[in-house]
Amino acid sequence: MKILGSFPKTRLRRLRKSNWIRNLVSENNISNNDLVLPIFVRDGRNKVESIKTMPGVKRYSIDKLSIILSKVKKYKIPMIALFPYTSENKKNKIGSEALNENNLICKSLKFIKKNFPEIGVMCDVALDPYTSHGHDGIIVGDEIDNDETIKVLTKQALLQARMGCDVIAPSDMMDGRIGAIRKELDKNNYKNVSILSYAVKYASDFYGPFRDAVGSKRNLTKDKKSYQMDSRNSTELFREVGLDIKEGADMVMVKPGMFYLDIINKIKNNFKVPVLAYQVSGEYSLIKQGVEKKLLKEDAIIESIISFKRAGACAIVTYFALEVAKKIRSIN
């Protein structure tokens, strides 16, 4: 592109001179509508428990979910993402708790849909919170078997839809699962339940704190590189996203977020579907600790969130959702 203008006639600092003009020419802004808050649920009663690896984030028993959901409602955050902390005695090799109608996710869905019907709920489709080995799928021999896993995932998705889930979010990275899930949902007349595919999900060390939060870390013996993407690559995103859209995904997710802004941008420029970014647990914990130790100012949080919008994301899944929503409200 030809550079327009020249110094001294052109002075780019004119448009940065004061707050009002910076606001006037700003290209990206963050609103409460751009946020999705992940919430961890656990069993028991009267439990609100801190998570060592994620300062400020808590696990709630269902009877205490209102504490956080009333804030989500107050700050008008459109959607939450539910994750279960399943007790060890309910885990097994095939993750059968995922299909239990009374598991934590099902019970939470019923509670939320009854008491907070205005909040959208998204649920992960993957087996890792339920398997004794911490993997997202079924192990056959020494591999995570793609097709056997899909058989369970379609059932898990259908159960979530039956319990009132609005957005089914397969985060397992099996090939072909979007098509199978869409077919199962349609067959059972859940044609209006959406699918947000974690289409571009990298094998990442930045998931570490999350695995602690859902209790899958201890169990995980091998990494997830045989199904999650290789962080050295970007070309395969065209096939990952292209196939998922063909199979029926309504929206796609990029995960992790901050170190993958190039990926978000490529999807935005090449596909006409909503792209969401997941600012994952490791990204959250790094920034949060930086702020707590006063190495960073709180504004660093907003800066990190804006970067996703600039890259092309329409929304951001972030453990900072409530803090950000509060902050924006006090600015406006």
Taking a C-beta distance cutoff of 8 angstroms, is the pair 62, 104 a contact?
yes
Is residue 201 part of the annotated active site? The answer reads yes
Q: Please give the Cα distance from 243 to 78 (Å, whole number).
A: 28
- Cα→Cα distances 135→35, 146, 171, 221, Å: 28, 12, 12, 9
Q: Indicate whether 177 belongs to the interface with ligand PBG (CB under 6 A).
A: no
Q: Which residue in the list 107, 201, 224, 266 is annotated as catalytic? A: 201
Near ligand PBG by CB under 6 A, which window of 98-106, 121-129, 237-245, 269-277?
A: 121-129
Tokens matching residue 209: 């704190």
Nearest to 279 by CA among 312, 316, 251: 316
Residue 128 or 240: which CB sits closer to ligand PBG? 128
Site for ligand PBG in 15-54 (CB under 6 A): none
Whether omega before 256 lies within 30 degrees of 0, making that bond cis, reads yes
Q: Indicate whether 280 belongs to the interface with ligand PBG (CB under 6 A).
A: yes
Q: Which helix (H) or strand (E) holds 84?
A: strand 79-85
Q: Indicate whether 207 belongs to the interface with ligand PBG (CB under 6 A).
A: yes
- Give me the residues paired with residue 42 across strands: 61, 85
Q: Which of 86, 103, 131, 171 binds ligand PBG (CB under 6 A)?
A: 171
Residue 136 or 247: which CB sits closer to ligand PBG? 136
SS3 state of residue 102: coil
Q: Indicate whether 212 belongs to the interface with ligand PBG (CB under 6 A).
A: no
Hey, what amino acid is at 60?
Answer: Y
Q: Cβ of residue 219: shortest distance to ligand PBG, in angstroms?
A: 11
Q: Which of 210, 227, 260, 320 binds ligand PBG (CB under 6 A)?
A: 210
Q: Which residue in the list 91, 107, 224, 255 is annotated as catalytic? A: 255
Near ligand PBG by CB under 6 A, which window of 40-48, 120-128, 146-154, 259-267?
A: 120-128
Give, as one character, the DSSP assignment of residue 175. T
Q: Indicate whether 211 belongs to the interface with ligand PBG (CB under 6 A).
A: yes
Q: Please give the Cα distance from 310 to 327 (Å, whole number).
A: 19
**Residue positions annotated with a catalytic role:** 201, 255
> Contact residues for ligand PBG (CB under 6 A)?
124, 126, 128, 136, 171-172, 207, 210-211, 224, 280-281
